[in-house]
């Protein structure tokens, strides 16, 4: 009896085989020395705990480099099979999944979100009715930058995807619908739920079935998995007095996380290079996996992004835009499509030059904001401006000068005189407060101080302090940005209210305290 292979399984087999074959070209000794110096200089300048780097030229992998350890001091070396959190580079995988569903006729980009999620609501009913699937992906919904991110981070927390869909209705817009670019994460979580509704399975199941398996991304992980069974997992780090210290280390059982469609996937260098080559030099089987039409839509400009002074100066850029899960700009006269990933102690970048069929990817398991900017710039210049003589240290020095100028004009207050408040000093304000999307917090006496605790986000906990006449919360976890607490007395039968704001107005947008609007709902127990 003949063996019958279903077309879907045949496609998966062909694609999987294609991704496991060697696609590496042998670099010249001069090329290897050039790339090694770039990577070595970046590691040395920024004291990175670990890094994995791959470079593609004309469709071929010409350089692979790993250095450092999965956990500083552990002796466990990073390899091309080490898993990193790719953070917002997950967004392009989410949009590829949606593109697959469009190819299959299971959804359309112009479909209203409410077709798949009838419970979906934005603050403005007109926006609710007119929000398309495509609008979830372009950061132009009206949500303020980072709006609602406190439902995603810090992790772990108890917010569900249903909580996010419910909470969106209470987040006030920061600008009018489709009028400008303001980066958000929540709507990518919603996009993952749209995919689940259209695809008839959970986002995690669909990602494995429709993306990882057919493309042979055998090490990529999403959902719940076992750290030790999978093995070789990099942990995030922060710098403490010049030392890299592991933070937020994984437990043996890694849970599924709410933020996965926006930034919760992990992959290794080998799989990220396979993912990149799928975009640069797709095989016929890969073009069957995702059609040329959908590929073009995903990486086409859909929302303009303002071009920064730095990008104009460094890259001679004139235009920048966001597609569906991808950024794009002209760099030295060449088209560049890329994205970055940022999580506490994990940084990554995937950059493509489609016309050259070239690009690169790197992942770092440490504090590396400037390191990513510098390494990305120097690797890009290798292609777009090979005669450029600016090296890692030149770009790093330029960032340092800019940081000093910023510090000189910073509105960050001096907190050196802060002191814990005694419960009696703020007795009028203590109690239980509720925000309609973030839920309950308590401001209650404990051990002679007043303690802030978020019910659904246990890492948002800290001590209420005083500077002059103002109050603030100093978080127990130093990775979070401290926040002002501004109380407003009850009047006209209205309860006491509480508003919050970042101490550093230019701090990370995911610390979106400004979107919170608490009302006192009870006393301390």
Show pLDDT as tens, one digit a residue, over the chain (525 residues). Answer: 233 323 333 333 333 433 433 467 777 777 889 999 999 999 999 999 999 999 999 999 999 999 999 999 999 999 999 999 999 999 999 999 999 999 999 999 999 999 999 999 999 999 999 999 999 999 999 999 999 999 999 999 999 999 999 999 999 999 999 999 999 999 999 999 999 999 999 999 999 999 999 999 999 999 999 999 999 999 999 999 999 999 999 999 999 999 999 999 999 999 999 999 999 999 999 999 999 999 999 999 999 999 999 999 999 999 999 999 999 999 999 999 999 999 999 999 999 999 999 999 999 999 999 999 999 999 999 999 999 999 999 999 999 999 999 888 877 888 889 999 999 999 999 999 999 999 999 999 999 999 999 999 999 999 999 999 999 999 998 666 899 999 999 887 789 999 999 998 878 888 889 999 999 999 998
Beta partners for 454? 441
Surface-to-core class of residue 361, CB atoms within 10 Å of its CB (0-12 exposed, 13-18 middle, 19+ buried)? buried
Query: How big is the CA angle at 241 (ends 240 and 245), to the nearest 5 degrees?
Result: 30
Whether 403 and 425 have beta carbons less than 8 Å apart is answered as: no
State residue 476's pLDDT score: 93
Q: How far apart are CA 165 and CA 176, in angstroms?
A: 20
Q: How far apart are CA 166 and CA 172, in angstroms?
A: 13
Under DSSP, is residue 220 helix (H, G, I), strand (E, B) or coil?
coil
The DSSP output letter for 473 is E
Token duo for residue 448: 């002679």
CA dist 455 → 84, 375, 435, 501 (Å)? 30, 40, 11, 19
Strands 243-246 and 327-331: unpaired
**Can you list the positions of beta strands (E) in 300-357?**
303-304, 320-322, 327-331, 334-343, 346-353
CA dist 140 → 181, 250, 329, 481, 525 (Å)? 5, 34, 18, 26, 43
Residue found under tokens 């970042």: 502
Q: How far apart are CA 35 and CA 382, in angstroms?
A: 9
Residues 6+ apart with CB under 8 A from 37: none
Q: Taking the mean position of all CA atoms in its chain, how far away is CA 168? A: 19
Residue found under tokens 């990008």: 311
Whether 288 and 225 have beta carbons less than 8 Å apart is answered as: no
**Whose CA is closest to 343, among 362, 366, 373, 323?**
366
Token duo for residue 267: 């992959």
State residue 5's pLDDT score: 29
Residues 6+ apart with CB under 8 A from 261: 90, 91, 94, 188, 189, 191, 192, 193, 195, 203
Helix 29-46 and helix 369-384, axial crossing angle in degrees, nearest 10? 160
The 3-state secondary structure of 85-135 reads: ECHHHHHHHHHHHHHHHHHCCCCCCCCEHHHCCCCCCCCCHHHHHHCECHH
Q: How far apart are CA 17 and CA 62, in angstroms?
A: 20
Token duo for residue 273: 């290079």
């Amino acid at each position: 009896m003949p063996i019958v292979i279903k077309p879907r399984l045949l496609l998966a087999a062909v694609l999987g085989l294609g991704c496991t074959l060697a696609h590496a070209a042998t670099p010249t000794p001069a090329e290897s020395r050039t790339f090694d110096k770039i990577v070595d200089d970046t590691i040395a300048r920024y004291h990175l705990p670990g890094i994995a780097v791959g470079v593609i030229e004309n469709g071929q992998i010409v350089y692979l480099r790993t250095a450092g350890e999965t956990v500083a001091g552990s002796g466990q070396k990073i390899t091309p099979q080490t898993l990193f959190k790719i953070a917002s580079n997950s967004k392009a995988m989410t949009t590829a999944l949606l593109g697959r569903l469009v190819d299959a006729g299971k959804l359309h980009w112009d479909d209203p979100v409410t077709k798949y999620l009838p419970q979906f609501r934005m603050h403005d009913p007109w926006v609710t009715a007119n929000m398309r699937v495509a609008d979830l992906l372009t950061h132009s919904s009206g949500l303020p930058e980072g709006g609602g991110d406190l439902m995603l981070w810090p992790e772990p927390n108890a917010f569900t995807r249903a909580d996010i869909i419910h909470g969106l209705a209470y987040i006030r817009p920061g600008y009018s619908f489709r009028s400008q670019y303001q980066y958000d994460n929540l709507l990518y979580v919603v996009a993952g739920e749209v995919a689940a509704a259209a695809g008839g399975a959970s986002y995690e199941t669909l990602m494995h079935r429709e993306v990882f398996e057919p493309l042979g991304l055998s090490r990529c992980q999403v959902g719940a998995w076992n750290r030790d069974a999978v093995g070789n997992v990099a942990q995030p780090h922060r710098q403490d007095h010049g030392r890299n210290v592991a933070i937020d280390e994984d437990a043996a059982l890694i849970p599924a996380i709410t933020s996965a469609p926006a930034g919760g996937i992990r992959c290794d260098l080998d799989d990220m290079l396979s993912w990149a080559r799928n975009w640069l030099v797709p095989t016929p089987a890969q073009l069957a996996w995702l059609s040329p039409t959908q590929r073009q839509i995903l990486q086409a400009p859909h929302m303009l992004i303002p071009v920064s002074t730095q990008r104009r100066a460094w890259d001679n850029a004139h235009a920048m835009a966001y597609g569906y899960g991808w950024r794009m700009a002209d760099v030295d006269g060449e088209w560049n499509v890329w994205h970055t990933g940022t999580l506490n102690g994990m940084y990554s970048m995937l950059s493509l030059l489609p016309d050259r069929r070239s690009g690169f990817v790197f992942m770092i398991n440490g504090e590396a904001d400037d390191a990513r900017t510098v390494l990305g710039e120097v690797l890009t210049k290798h292609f777009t401006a090979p005669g450029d003589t600016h090296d890692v240290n030149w770009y790093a020095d330029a960032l340092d000068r800019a940081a000093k100028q910023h510090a000189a004009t910073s509105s960050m207050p001096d907190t050196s005189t802060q002191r814990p408040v005694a419960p009696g000093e703020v007795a009028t304000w203590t109690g239980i407060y509720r925000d309609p999307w973030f839920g309950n917090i308590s401001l209650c006496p404990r051990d002679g101080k007043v303690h802030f605790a978020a019910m659904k986000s246990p890492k948002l906990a800290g001590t209420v302090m005083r500077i002059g006449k103002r109050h603030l919360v100093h978080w127990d976890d130093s990775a979070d940005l401290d926040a002002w607490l501004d109380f407003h007395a009850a009047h006209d039968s209205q309860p006491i209210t509480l508003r919050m704001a970042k101490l550093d107005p230019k701090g990370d947008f995911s610390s979106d305290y400004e979107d919170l609007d608490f009302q006192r709902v009870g006393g301390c127990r």
